[in-house]
Chains A and B, each alone.
Chain A
């Protein structure tokens, strides 16, 4: 039971919910960048939310299945073809042995996900199948897919397929070119001047093409730091701190020019001051943004962040009920 990879796509990797608990050693959490979209694909094919999927970036793979398989494609809008015939996203698709799956040009966002009944069955490394290319662990040999790979597909659970065959329109994620991202100020926000903080929150920031699983870099007016004497060991620039752990989702602004949001494969620490952190409920939203997306950061409280988180949990519970 496997997917035969004829063409690998631009950067197709195996991902799941992530590798949790090894951040202290510099191993990032990894996992599907857009967890909600990936979970919808798993839902449609009768998997648990923890099953591994293929994450495709811009250009998807061309795959021939060596087995009958039930799949679903979710995430960024893209044309999906089975044996050259277009098939819908966000719906369950039945493949028979020898069927060819390929993709057209992406129409928004950057990432879409292929789930298969039984899950992508590469070995777990430290509790996860997620690919971490820098450390060469997880996924297929710790790297993005290559032509000629045979990607193993697992055996599905006994309870078969759910009644749900398609995700309702109102439950599908939106891929907008103009977004508002909720953040909590904190960490080293006190190192920004009052003007710098105001610029961060009241400017339009445009996502640059320098955006990947590690982080997303934004262009805009730049921010101003307070003048201060740098503490011992921190480095000379006012955006430097004594190297510390980085919160996933935190925003750093090296040199005060371009904010960078650290995402799921980011380095676990370093010497740049973080000034705010994207709330957990909006990490998927950030992952859905394509370069050129106009972005506003709005500050919320811990209570508001937790309320947003609970809304997501409630939606997931409804979809999985």
Chain B
């Protein structure tokens, strides 16, 4: 499939402009969406209410009493042209290590409650199923593939601060897992999920349709802002963040929970410059250079 050369502009009622960069997910489409969002934000136009970059699209909420819809479309079109013409495709961001207890009993308890009528393959758990549909030997191999390469936060949303993550590997290496046949009514907080080509971390307890693989040890949404990582804002992730999942066992999980409860936990993180061209040219080599940033701290 050849990439679309221009986005599709359409309206979500009289308050939302929707810009579909591409129908399918790709690193390039996500980069364009986020770059337009940043450029639009920098313009600080009166009447812009919210700019929501997503995986391969962009949603802009505006006040049509303050900003004419035709003018908004004209401005975003111009920014799209600028972004596509630009040769500068780098992003100043950070890499964060997220400790995950894969195949944990909490997640598996919920997995077991939603089988018949919810899941494609009621026998076994979600990891076994994910390994099978990706042609991998077993759950262990799937877990290894899940954490050995880093991920890009390609969108934040659904519920408070939930990150959608896209793995920084070549298309043939992408893991793909169907969503549940029908959404669960319950998902434990901090469940690491998977649907389509995206991973996610459920920020709060609630409904969900992604397969469930494990539990992250530390919060990613903290309305009390007790931990230092939340001193500026109650939501941890931003689009463009790079994530490295770190597999941990129960002992390490308990140790981190104690730190969280004591208010002393901090995520291991380091500033990095993400270079789209380098990432696309040599995904394997580039991912190693990203991971080096975490080794120094």
Contacts and interface: CB of A to CB of B under 8 A. Distances in A.
Interface of A: 20-27, 125, 132, 134-137, 142, 183-184, 186-187, 231-236, 240-250, 267-271, 274, 277-280, 302, 305-306, 309, 313
Contacts of A136: 204, 223
B18 A184 contact: no
A184 B160 contact: no
A236 B164 CA distance: 18
B25 interface: yes
Given A24-B157, A134-B160, A232 B197 contact: yes
Contact of B61 (A23, A134, A187, A232): A23
Contacts of A302: 11, 14, 69
B50 interface: yes
Contact of A20 (B11, B14, B50, B206): B50
A115 to B, nearest CB: 24
Interface in B176-198: 176, 178-179, 195-198
12 contacts: A23-B157, A24-B53, A135-B159, A135-B221, A136-B204, A137-B223, A243-B54, A243-B155, A245-B58, A247-B18, A268-B52, A279-B13
Given A24-B50, A27-B160, A187-B18, A249 B65 contact: no
A25 B160 contact: yes
B135 interface: no
B16 A26 contact: no
Interface in B17-58: 18, 20, 22-26, 49-58
Interface residues of B, number: 54
A246 to B, nearest CB: 8
Give the interface centre of B23, B65, B69, B179 by most chain A CB atoms within 10 Å: B23
B-side interface mostly: loop
B216 interface: no
A241 B21 CA distance: 13
Nearest to B238: A25
Contact of A135 (B50, B155, B157, B223): B223
Contacts of B197: 232-233
Given A235-B195, A245-B52, A25 B156 contact: yes
Q: Which 4 A-B pairs have the closest CB atoms?
A: A247-B12, A245-B59, A233-B25, A277-B13
B203 interface: yes
Contacts of B65: 309, 313
A249 B23 CA distance: 22
B160 A242 contact: no
Given A20-B49, A26-B162, 14 more contacts: A23-B157, A27-B235, A134-B204, A183-B13, A187-B10, A187-B11, A232-B25, A233-B56, A244-B18, A245-B157, A274-B12, A279-B14, A302-B14, A309-B64
A132 B178 CA distance: 30
B13 A250 contact: yes
Given A137-B223, A277-B12, A279-B14, A231 B204 contact: no
Contact of A24 (B15, B52, B178): B52
B106 interface: no
B168 to A, nearest CB: 14
A269 to B, nearest CB: 4
A134 B223 CA distance: 11
A240 B176 CA distance: 14
A243 B55 contact: yes
B158 interface: yes
Contact of A269 (B10, B26, B158, B235): B158
A49 B175 CA distance: 50
B278 to A, nearest CB: 22
Given A232-B25, A235-B196, A236-B178, A277 B206 contact: no
Give the interface centre of B57, B160, B234 by most chain A CB atoms within 10 Å: B160
A235 B179 contact: yes
B14 A309 contact: yes
Given A187-B10, A233-B198, A267-B157, A135 B204 contact: yes
Nearest to A235: B196
B214 interface: no
B51 A233 contact: no
Contacts of B49: 20-21
B161 interface: yes
Nearest to B178: A236
Contacts of B1: 231-232
Contacts of A232: 1, 24-26, 171, 197
A234 B57 CA distance: 13
A296 to B, nearest CB: 17
Given A234-B24, A278-B13, A271 B196 contact: yes
A232 B146 CA distance: 19
A245 B20 CA distance: 10
Contacts of A240: 179, 196
Contacts of A247: 12-13, 15-16, 18, 59, 61
